[in-house]
Structures are given as structure tokens and as C-alpha cells.
Amino acid sequence: MPIAFAALRGPGALVVTYTGAASGTHDFATGPLYLTTTGSYTFSFSRAGNVRVKGVSGGGNGGNGALNSQYASGGGGGGGGAADMTGELVSVVSTPSGYTGAVGAAASETNFRLASSTYYLRLLGGGNGSNGAHGSGGTVSAGANGYAGGDGGTAGDPYGSPSLSGGNGASATYAAGGGGGGGSSEAQPANGGSGGNGQDQSGGAQTVSASGTAGTSGVADGDWYGKGGGGGGGVLVNGVYYGGGGGGGGAARTAGGTQGSGGAGKQGVLVLVAE
């Protein structure tokens, strides 16, 4: 009889122990593990099992606007983070410290891999904007179900090429949107671009934050300045929007002026779900 009961008994709880940027033990019978503290991790599983790994990478920061007597460029929008919310199915084993991962800060990657070996999921962070240039959307290095983030909006160009105003960030249907570009100093004022829409959230209008933080407008002694770009929309995970690119800062003229600052890109997240 004890033998028969043993045959019917399941394999036991699947539990993961993790150390690194945060530490703890998680029983998957209680639900998914959401890792939101940015940095690197090491994982050990209590037994063999199937785990689906999902995530979003960090969105890029927006670039600062310039300050000049005239002809000052706005800051480009930061690129939106890549995402894989369908996830990648991983057959884990109970080798101690056999797996590593990372939760991306702004402009940084989120990943999960066999230690010093195969990446099962690798989502590269969105690129940072800079003065006069936008950041590219984060890309997928590993993960068949992943999607790239939207590019940041172009910076407002004081010579009007392509525009005095900042460009809109690109939207991403299944990832995070790019931040809008900041306006140049050569209008009264030059508009900033809107942030691109993310999978679950609309991007912000000029100077309005979403998942990514909006850029601030330039301040001028007069009307010659650029407005800040809006923040990029994010991917909703456990009640928080992740991965949006930051908006670019607006430019200003030097006579009593102050240039706008680029907004911060939103960090990423890593999720493990037992199946």
C-alpha cells in the first residue's frame, strides 16, 4: 500500500531560490515570480520542471536639449524596450546555481540563460537619445516570441531638417514605445513630439509622461525655445507599465535661457511562470 501511494504522489513543489540584485525563495504554486529590482541574478530550482520566462527590457533615456545663442537642437527621444510576454518555455533542472538572469535598468537588457551558456531570453534595452539624435528601439537577441521596441522620436533641428519640432516616438504593438523628440530653439516655441504607444499604454503628448518620463521644455528670455517630448507607452506587467522610452529635452537660446533635460526611460522586468 505505501508503494501504491508513493506512485500516486506528485513530484513535489517547484521552488526557485534566487540571489543577486534581490534574494528570496519562491514556490510557483503561489503564482508567477515577478522580478523588478534591476541587476543580475542567479537561480537554483528545487527539481526539474517547465518554466515560461517572460520580460521587458529597459527603455532608453531621452537626450538633453542644447543651449546656444541660436540654432540649438532638441534632444532625441529614447528607444522603447523590447518585450516577450508570450514567453519562452524552458525545461529547467535542479543544478545548483545553474541559471542566471538580469532585469534591465533604463537602456539595459533583460535576460535569462543557462549559466555561462545558452540564452533562452535576451531582450536588449532601448538606445539612449542624445542632443540632436534619437535612440533606436530595443531589439531581440534571443527569444522566438519577442518583439522590438519603438524608435525614439527625432530631435528638433534648428535648420528644419527634417523639422524644427521634435518627431513622434514610434509605437510598438507588442513592446514599448519610443519617447518623443524635443523641439529646437528656432520657433516660438517649437513643439516636442508625442511618445509612441506601447502594447498596453498610449504614449504621452509633448511634456507628458507615460511609462517613460517626458522631457522638460527649454526656458528662454522670450519665446525662442523647444518643448519637451512625451514619454513612451509601456507594457503592463502586474499593475506597472515597463519599458517606455524617455522624451527628449527642449532647446533654448542663451539670453536668460536654460535647456530642457531628457526624461528617464522606464526599467524592465523579468517574469518566471511554472507550467
- How confident is the prediction along the chain (275 residues), in pLDDT tens digits per residue? 344 433 444 578 999 999 999 999 999 999 999 999 999 999 999 999 999 999 999 999 999 999 998 899 999 999 999 999 999 999 999 988 899 999 999 999 999 999 989 999 999 999 999 999 999 999 999 999 999 999 999 999 999 999 999 999 999 999 999 999 999 999 889 999 999 999 999 999 999 999 999 999 999 877 799 999 999 999 999 999 999 999 999 999 887 789 999 999 999 999 999 99
Q: Measure the CA–CA gap between 113 and 121, rounded to whole angstroms.
A: 7
Q: Measure the CA–CA gap between 31 and 106, rounded to whole angstroms.
A: 27
Q: Quick one: pLDDT at residue 10? A: 53
Are 271 and 86 spatial neighbours (Cβ–Cβ below 8 Å)? no
Q: What is the 3-state secondary structure (H, E, C) of 199-231?
A: CCCCCCCCCCCCCCCCCCCCECCCCCEECCCCC
Q: Quick one: pLDDT at residue 257? A: 87
Residue 147: all three cell numbers together? 518583439
pLDDT for 2-33, tens place per residue? 444 334 445 789 999 999 999 999 999 999 99
φ, ψ for residue 241 (rounded to 5)? -95, 120
Sequence letter at residue 191: N
pLDDT for 181-209, tens place per residue? 999 999 889 999 999 999 999 999 999 99
Q: Quick one: pLDDT at residue 82? A: 99
Q: Is the bond preceding residue 96 a cis peptide, omega within 30 degrees?
A: no
Query: Model pTM?
Result: 0.95
pLDDT for 234-247, tens place per residue? 999 999 999 999 99
Q: Quick one: pLDDT at residue 271? A: 98
Strand pairing partners for 67?
252
